[in-house]
A and B are shown apart, each in its own frame.
Chain A
Amino acid sequence: MSQATYRLQGLKKEYNGRSVLQVEALDIYAGEIFGLVGPSGAGKSTLLRLLNFLEPPTEGSITYKDAKFNAEKPVPLELRRQVTTVFQRPLLLNRTVKANVSYGLQLRGQNHLEGRTKAALEQVGLADLADQQARTLSGGEAQRVALARAMVLEPDVLLLDEPTANLDPFNVGLIEEIVRQLHASQGTTIVLVTHNVFQARRLAQRVALLLDSRVIEIAPVAEFFESPRDERTAAFVNGEMVY
């Protein structure tokens, strides 16, 4: 866990002059599960959008696999396509389940969609729903399809933006297990954004607390939860108000 997939330096994001994110320095290592916790509005989702290169930073740079990008130098498509996000809502297309899963492969003009789509659906335990219309799925099923749609791309980096926030404990357990298996089998670098500290503790190897658009503390998971350096981290992991 030494090589950094991402290196963020002096990163700032503003919307209409209002600063929503300021990260002095942050490295995300290849093959780790990096947890990002904090209250809503702290800038977690903004950071994920920057990591997925959906928006350019206002200031500073993101170094992705030794290539440096900033507001003036956008990320080429082939690098952007190594990264994908599963959002809080499944956001499926109004098509069949398998058409949703194969969509990203189609965008890349790839072949052998059928077999890969089927394998991805088997990974999330929904192979028998392949021909069903996506809008008829339950919330948990839809989110698993969203996960399969991301996994079929075999991304180098998978960004998870509160992927289980709307789900019941059973489906939360299912999705966490799928993420664990993906990480174990593919070594995918995973950045997990959650306001659920327990989930971060269950899944992540390193955790960062984001508060008021700034990174307060970054630490290995045990240290983060058991002996945090910052009192705000201690308060947050104990479920106290940190605002």
Chain B
Amino acid sequence: MTSALREIVLLSLEVSGTALFFATLIGIPLGVVMGLRRFVGRKLVVALLYTGMGFPPVVIGLFVYLLLSRSGPLGQITLPLVPDLFTPGAMVMAQSIISFPLVAGFTMAAVMAVDPQLRQQVQSLGATTGQTALMVLSEARVGVLVSVIAGFGSIISEVGAVMMVGGNIEHNTRVLTTAIVLETRKGNFDLAVALGFVLLGLSFLANVAMLRLQGRSLDQ
């Protein structure tokens, strides 16, 4: 039983960790661009991003399910980056989509909070456009870290999407949240509670980290 538990915890961390990696890869640059640049249609993108931040995960799950199912647009494609339905890859895809708007949205807010005059100052000190963006990211570092932790919190505790696209298959796509649902239905309340505590612990750690960072900057 302990090895089963370990397997589930590890898969949860692996799936959510990989999804967070992709969400960060897309979300942080997107957030920086949205925070620094003014372009036509920016407000629309911001509105979409904010919608994405509050989007029900189960709907994302449905969207990915339809996308990857055999008769869906990606169902017949066998490329390394296109996962099959009911695999960890499909779960990573769904969770990446759930978390990247959070990462991008919070990063954008953090970047916008950096004094615009500071950008002019570093340009006058000889910074290129890229160096200026890096400086802004560095000044907003606490907020950017918070965005990553918020992204993680949103997917590690998510159940609807992973259930739908992963299928809760033992030794394959069973993660903490889907295991809790299953064990509760089976009446294995002690295991369900144990899993629940592990999940709570992970969520708690993420939130404590976020609160600590929000309250003070890193070097204090």
A residues with a Cβ closer than 8 A to B are: 49, 52, 54, 77, 80-81, 83-85, 87, 89, 91, 93-94, 103-104, 107-108, 133, 149-150, 153, 159
Contact of B217 among A91, A94, A149, A159 (CB under 8 A): A94
Given contacts A91-B117, A93-B118, A94-B217, whether A85 and B124 have CB atoms under 8 Å apart is yes
Chain B contact residues, majority secondary structure: helix
- Across the interface, do B124 and A107 meet the contact criterion of CB distance under 8 Å? no
Beyond the given A93-B138, A94-B217, A103-B125, please list 12 additional residue pairs across the A-B interface where CB-CB is below 8 A: A52-B124, A54-B120, A80-B126, A81-B126, A87-B121, A91-B117, A91-B118, A93-B118, A93-B135, A104-B125, A107-B126, A107-B127
The listed residue with most B CB atoms (<10 A of its CB), out of A52, A54, A91, is: A91
- Nearest CB of chain A from residue B123's CB, rounded to whole Å: 6
Determine the residue in chain A with the shortest Cβ distance to B128. A77
- Across the interface, do B139 and A94 meet the contact criterion of CB distance under 8 Å? yes
Determine the residue in chain B with the shortest Cβ distance to A90. B121
- Nearest CB of chain B from residue A13's CB, rounded to whole Å: 15
Which residues between 83 and 121 of chain B lie within 8 Å of chain A, taking CB atoms?
Answer: 115, 117-118, 120-121
Q: Tell me whether B122 is interfacial, beta carbon within 8 Å.
A: yes
Contact of A133 among B126, B127, B219 (CB under 8 A): B219
- Across the interface, do A91 and B126 meet the contact criterion of CB distance under 8 Å? no
The listed residue with most A CB atoms (<10 A of its CB), out of B123, B125, B126, B219, is: B125
- Nearest CB of chain B from residue A179's CB, rounded to whole Å: 17
- Across the interface, do B139 and A107 meet the contact criterion of CB distance under 8 Å? no
Q: 5 shortest A-B CB distances, which residue pairs?
A: A81-B126, A91-B121, A85-B124, A104-B125, A107-B126
Determine the residue in chain A with the shortest Cβ distance to B140. A94
Which residues from chain B contact A103 at a C-beta distance below 8 Å?
122, 125
6 contacting pairs across A/B (C-beta < 8 A): A83-B124, A84-B124, A91-B121, A93-B135, A107-B131, A133-B219
Which residues from chain B contact A80 at a C-beta distance below 8 Å?
126
Contact of A149 among B120, B125, B127, B135 (CB under 8 A): B125
Determine the residue in chain A with the shortest Cβ distance to B118. A91
- Nearest CB of chain B from residue A87's CB, rounded to whole Å: 6
Which residues from chain A contact B121 at a C-beta distance below 8 Å?
85, 87, 91
Which residues from chain A contact B125 at a C-beta distance below 8 Å?
84, 103-104, 107, 149-150, 153
Which residues from chain A contact B128 at a C-beta distance below 8 Å?
77, 107
Which residues from chain A contact B117 at a C-beta distance below 8 Å?
87, 89, 91
Which residues from chain A contact B126 at a C-beta distance below 8 Å?
77, 80-81, 84, 104, 107-108, 153
Which residues from chain B contact A133 at a C-beta distance below 8 Å?
219
Determine the residue in chain A with the shortest Cβ distance to B126. A81
Annotate B117-160 by CB proximity to A: 1 below 8 A, 0 otherwise: 11011111111100100010011000000000000000000000
**Cα(A147)–Cα(B117), bound, Å:** 16
Determine the residue in chain A with the shortest Cβ distance to B124. A85
**Cα(A93)–Cα(B139), bound, Å:** 7
Annotate B165-186 by CB proximity to A: 1 below 8 A, 0 otherwise: 0000000000000000000000
**Cα(A83)–Cα(B135), bound, Å:** 20
